[in-house]
Every structure is written in C-alpha cells, then in structure tokens.
Chains A and B, each alone.
Chain A
C-alpha cells in the first residue's frame, strides 16, 4: 500500500495535531477574547471595557460582572463609544471598545480616525462577527471591508488571529502595544490550529506548513480552509507553504519575501473583499520588492447574503475547494 505524502507541518510552532483533520476541534475566538479580557482585568486595574449593547455577543459579560466600575455600557451609540474611549485612553486607561465589526469600526470610522488614531491613543477596537460569519443575519452584519480600511489608518495596528488560543495571545499583546489596535474576530466556533504552547509575536507571521511549490498566505479562522486545500494538494503532488498572517499591520515582509522567493507563486486567502485587505497588502509588498504572481481569494466586489456559514463560504469562493482549484489551475503558469 502506498503511503500518502505527509504534510510538512512546522513542528517549531507546536500546532494542534488535529488541525488538518476534516473534523477538527472547534472553539470560539470571541470566548477567547472574553476570557483574556477577564484575566487582564484582574491583572491591571487600568483595563476598561466599553460596549454598545452587544456585551453577550462580544463576550464582555464576565468582565462586566467582575469589574462593574470599569465596564461602560454606552447603549447603541458606537460613535460616542469611540470618543469616550479616546478620553479614557488620554488619561492612561487601557481601553477596549467592542461591537460587531460592521458597526465598529465601520459606523464610527470617522470617530476612530480623528478621536483615536490621529491622537495616537491606545484604544483596542474589537470587531467581532467579521467576515461572512454572522451568516444568517445577512449582508449588513457581515463585515468584508474592515481590513482594507483599518490598515490604511496611520498609527494603527491590525490583528486578525487564527483561532481560540491565538486570540487569547493577541488580546494579551494588544494592551502592551500602546497604539490604536484593531482586532477582528469571527462569530462561529472555529478550528483549533494553534495550541497554548504556540509562540506569538506581533512582528512575526507564522509558517504553519512548509512547502516549495506555491505560498498560501492566509489570515483569520479561514486559514483552516487553506490547510484543508493544502492537504489535498499535497496528496496530488503539489506542496504549498502555508503562512498565517495574524498581524496585517505591521506586516512581516521578511517571511513573505523568503517564501515567495522560493515558490514564485502566491495565493492569498481571507474572509474579506478581494481588494485592499490581506491580498492587497501582499500584492503591494511583492510588486515593489519582488514581482511575483499573486492570486487573491476573497469576496469579489460583492455584498454577502443570508445562508449557513459553509454555504456562504462556498458560494462566495472562499473555501478549500476554491483554493484547491486556483492552485491546480495556476501551478504550471508561474
């Protein structure tokens, strides 16, 4: 019996053994955020949390229960929330503002730009329910433009953790940065890719799987679709390298350039519009520093709609099948 070629999983990262299985263990990034927030609240009395009526959705309830004096319910008023956060940050507080990504940073973008980012204030803006994940709610709740918009704001760090454990580490790191930080989270429970032992450094992207034939650069929980596609590609003799970009800004150029030099073909994968987000960032860097063919997986200049999460990912071309086909069709056109 012929053995299937094994995935070259990066052992240095101490990843979850089951990450490339078809039924990986699932855990919520929102829950990770809520747990870390509670821990940070215990450690540091300067940590404060603001919420615009979505405390149960964004998992800030435990913090609110434990630290009622440091939890501010502003009601359905995201613009006021961003401004109050700026004021609190200006007097030394470490401030989290939380909502659906569609409402914060999108509805209150001008307040974030002027009151927070222009003043370079350390406010951590958490946009939950990003991407297609609030699937049944339809297009207005699905946020597909946030990466593109937030990464163009000066002073601002953009985080997009891959899973439960990484969200915990990103949340802990966010309060140490002393910068405006945007972090996007998913609504659904998502595959566990990293473990508690996996290292995390805001400045360093992570090679999850090593390969020579093409580079798949991905961000957020959708990385799992890239891992599934990679498994199938490997079985068919194509060996992709998979890079997880948990920090879109500042971008780890070094790792990207190293990988692209080797593979000469890059596919980007994100639950976001094709333009301006991760794919945009990768294309900008490569076109300036080492022109390489870049193919972008993402929604194609379209709004979403209601459906199940899996149905939407399939219809809008951001699942493992789409990644697999794109790779197979282009592997010989480098």
Chain B
C-alpha cells in the first residue's frame, strides 16, 4: 500500500536503475498508443507519443496514488487539460493497474469507458472531463483549493498543451493560481510547438512563455520532456517551492519515437496506416538496446 499523508511531500529521487525502468515503461506506452489508435481508426497521436515520458514519470514515480483505492481522499490528483492526448493517459492507467490492458482496444468504441476525450470517472483514474480546450487548469485550481480547505496534503498536477494556451481561460487560471500562491499545484506544459493547423509560433505565438508565466507569479522550470531524470528532479523542485505554484515547461518532440512523425504538425490529429504503424512499432522496439540499462547487482 502506498503511504498517504504526509508521504506526499517527501522527495522522490530515482536510482539509475529506476530511471531505466521508467524509460522502458514510456516505450511501452508509445507502443500501446500506436496500437490503440490503429485499432480505433481515429485519434491524436503526436502529443500522446510526445508526452509518454512525462506520463511514465508521473505514474511510476511521482503521483501518490493507489489503483486499488482510486477514490482515496488524499490521493494526488492528475488533471488532463488537453484531453485529445488521452490515449496515453488510458495506457498508463492500465499499465499501473487501474483497469485491465484488454480495455485499451476499446478506445473510441461504443459503450467503452475509453472515450475519444476524457469523461470524469468513465474508468477508474480519470479525474476530469476535458476536450474543450483550456479548462483543466481551472479544475486543478479547485482541487488544490479543496486540499487546503480540508487540510489534506495531496498535490495536484495538471497537464496543458501549449496550443491551448491561446484560450483566454488559461490566463484567468494562471492569474488566479499565481496570486493565490497555490504551492500544491504543479502545471506541466507540453511545449511541443505544434497545434492542429501548424506550428504554434506561426498560428499564434506563445513566446516568450517563461516571462509570461513568471509575470503571473509562477515558478517556472524548463526541462527536456524526454529526460526522465530531469523530469523527476523538476517535480521534486516543485515540491520545494513554498510561495508559488510551479509551471514545468516540458520541451517535447511531437510524435517522439516514430521518426517519420517527429516534429510534424500534420500528425497532430492523424492516425498511422497499418504500414506506418508497423514502421513506428519497429522503431520503438529497436530502442531497446539504446536505453541505458544497469544490470542487477
């Protein structure tokens, strides 16, 4: 059983071996995402592949959660704001045991809990509804305020896509959380530079993002969103920041792991053909030797 309060606030650093394990879990997540989307016939692949390392770090190392007790009042909350990348969320929830992996092939099918965009409680572990962009951070603020009101020690994590930061509500929420000094709230911004119609800086530029977030009174960390150790360290750093919420700007490569998709906005909302999927899965499976592993003893 995971420890609840006050374990939530303890720092969680990784051994080299753990880092290697998490990297492997992330590769498995990417494989699941490719298989799920091919089976579903539609969905959004680029962001789901790009954030697999972040999801692996959160669910295998950072979040204080128990798949056997998904409604524990002091569990850490993860909120997904850019709902369209939910295949990777479903994949990681199955990976850590919130539900059976067989369910993953029901993505986007009738009567499935795995909706095309998340619906709160449709399967255990799904904490919020999203799909209309820009709403998650406000929901996360409510959960963070709830923790303070009920004197609970859980922390709230919210993932935002960079493109959705063009929504005005995001800035209402950033203003509120910064001003209220919600130090139990950590926001992860998936800075992959793409959105459905192009590169963010061509559609509606977000830069300079760090300065904007800092001006809203957030503590800002910028990390390589594919570097497990950097991610783990930044989540720990966020716990140490006392006066402000933390925004982790995770620089990621959209489509990461399937080289022909990487960096290409055209893959935002596309599904690979059977042939392309095979190519992607081969590329992912060939990574095995490239992940730096440490032998047992």
Task: Report the bound CA distance from A91 to B150 in whole Å.
Answer: 9
Which residues of chain B in 101-141 are interfacial with respect to chain A, using CB atoms and an 8 Å cutoff?
119-121, 127-132, 134-141
**Interface: A232 (CB within 8 A):** no
Contact B169 A111 (CB under 8 A): yes
B173 to nearest A CB, angstroms? 5
Give B contacts to A, CB under 8 Å: 73, 79, 119-121, 127-132, 134-147, 149-150, 168-169, 172-173, 175-176
Task: Report the bound CA distance from A48 to B168 in whole Å.
Answer: 25
Binds B, one of A78-86, A127-135, A156-164: A78-86
- Checking A69, A80, A115 against B129 with a beta-carbon cut-off of 8 angstroms, the contacting residue is A115
B119 to nearest A CB, angstroms? 6
Give A contacts to B, CB under 8 Å: 48, 69-70, 72, 74-75, 77, 79-93, 110-111, 113-115, 118-121
Q: Which residues of B contact A89 (CB under 8 A)?
A: 142
Contact A87 B143 (CB under 8 A): yes
Contact B142 A90 (CB under 8 A): yes
Q: Which 4 A-B pairs have the closest CB atoms?
A: A87-B142, A83-B138, A91-B146, A80-B172
Contact A88 B146 (CB under 8 A): yes
- For the complex, would chain A's binding face be called helix, strand, loop or mixed by DSSP majority? helix
- For the complex, would chain B's binding face be called helix, strand, loop or mixed by DSSP majority? helix
Total number of residue pairs linking A and B with CB closer than 8 Å: 109
Measured CB to CB, the nearest residue on chain A to B167 is A79
Task: Report the bound CA distance from A115 to B80 in whole Å.
Answer: 12
Contact A77 B175 (CB under 8 A): yes
Given A91-B147, A119-B121, 7 further pairs, Cβ under 8 A: A75-B172, A79-B172, A87-B79, A87-B141, A113-B132, A119-B119, A121-B120
Task: Report the bound CA distance from A77 to B137 in whole Å.
Answer: 14
Q: Which residues of B contact A119 (CB under 8 A)?
A: 119-121, 128-129
Contact A83 B120 (CB under 8 A): no
Task: Report the bound CA distance from A114 to B134 in whole Å.
Answer: 11
Q: Which residues of B contact A111 (CB under 8 A)?
A: 132, 135, 138, 169
Contact B169 A91 (CB under 8 A): no
Q: Which residues of A contact B172 (CB under 8 A)?
A: 74-75, 77, 79-80
Contact B131 A75 (CB under 8 A): no
Contact A72 B138 (CB under 8 A): no
Q: Which residues of A contact B139 (CB under 8 A)?
A: 83-84, 86-87, 90, 115
The answer to whether A82 and B119 touch (CB under 8 A), given A90-B143, A92-B146, A114-B131, is no
Q: Which residues of B contact A88 (CB under 8 A)?
A: 142-143, 145-146, 149
Q: Which residues of B contact A69 (CB under 8 A)?
A: 149
A125 to nearest B CB, angstroms? 14
Task: Report the bound CA distance from A149 to B25 in whole Å.
Answer: 45
Contact B176 A85 (CB under 8 A): no
Q: Which residues of B contact A74 (CB under 8 A)?
A: 172, 176
Contact B141 A93 (CB under 8 A): no
Measured CB to CB, the nearest residue on chain A to B146 is A91
Q: Which residues of A contact B128 (CB under 8 A)?
A: 86, 90, 115, 119
Would you mind naming 20 contact pairs between A and B with Cβ atoms under 8 Å apart?
A75-B172, A75-B176, A77-B169, A77-B172, A79-B135, A82-B138, A84-B141, A86-B139, A87-B141, A88-B142, A88-B146, A90-B143, A90-B146, A92-B146, A110-B132, A111-B135, A114-B129, A114-B130, A115-B139, A119-B129
Task: Report the bound CA distance from A92 to B283 in whole Å.
Answer: 46
Contact A77 B176 (CB under 8 A): yes
A276 to nearest B CB, angstroms? 22
A76 to nearest B CB, angstroms? 9
B243 to nearest A CB, angstroms? 19
- Checking B79, B145, B168 against A79 with a beta-carbon cut-off of 8 angstroms, the contacting residue is B168
Contact B120 A90 (CB under 8 A): yes
B75 to nearest A CB, angstroms? 10
Q: Which residues of B contact A110 (CB under 8 A)?
A: 132, 135
Task: Report the bound CA distance from A48 to B139 in whole Å.
Answer: 15
Task: Report the bound CA distance from A86 to B132 in whole Å.
Answer: 15
Task: Report the bound CA distance from A320 to B25 in whole Å.
Answer: 71
- The residue in A87, A90, A93, A121 that gathers the most chain B C-beta atoms within 10 A of its C-beta is A87
Q: Which residues of A contact B141 (CB under 8 A)?
A: 80, 83-84, 87
Task: Report the bound CA distance from A80 to B141 in whole Å.
Answer: 9
Q: Which residues of B contact A83 (CB under 8 A)?
A: 135-139, 141-142, 169, 173
The answer to whether A118 and B119 touch (CB under 8 A), given A77-B172, A84-B139, A84-B141, is yes
Measured CB to CB, the nearest residue on chain A to B150 is A91
Q: Which residues of A contact B149 (CB under 8 A)?
A: 48, 69-70, 88, 93
Task: Report the bound CA distance from A72 to B176 in whole Å.
Answer: 10
Task: Report the bound CA distance from A77 to B128 in whole Å.
Answer: 21
Task: Report the bound CA distance from A82 to B132 in whole Å.
Answer: 14
- The residue in A79, A88, A91 that gathers the most chain B C-beta atoms within 10 A of its C-beta is A91
Contact B138 A86 (CB under 8 A): yes
Q: Which residues of A contact B138 (CB under 8 A)?
A: 79-84, 86-87, 111, 115
- The residue in B138, B141, B173 that gathers the most chain A C-beta atoms within 10 A of its C-beta is B138
Task: Report the bound CA distance from A230 to B53 in whole Å.
Answer: 70
Task: Report the bound CA distance from A56 to B17 in whole Å.
Answer: 59
Measured CB to CB, the nearest residue on chain A to B179 is A75
- The residue in B120, B137, B147 that gathers the most chain A C-beta atoms within 10 A of its C-beta is B120
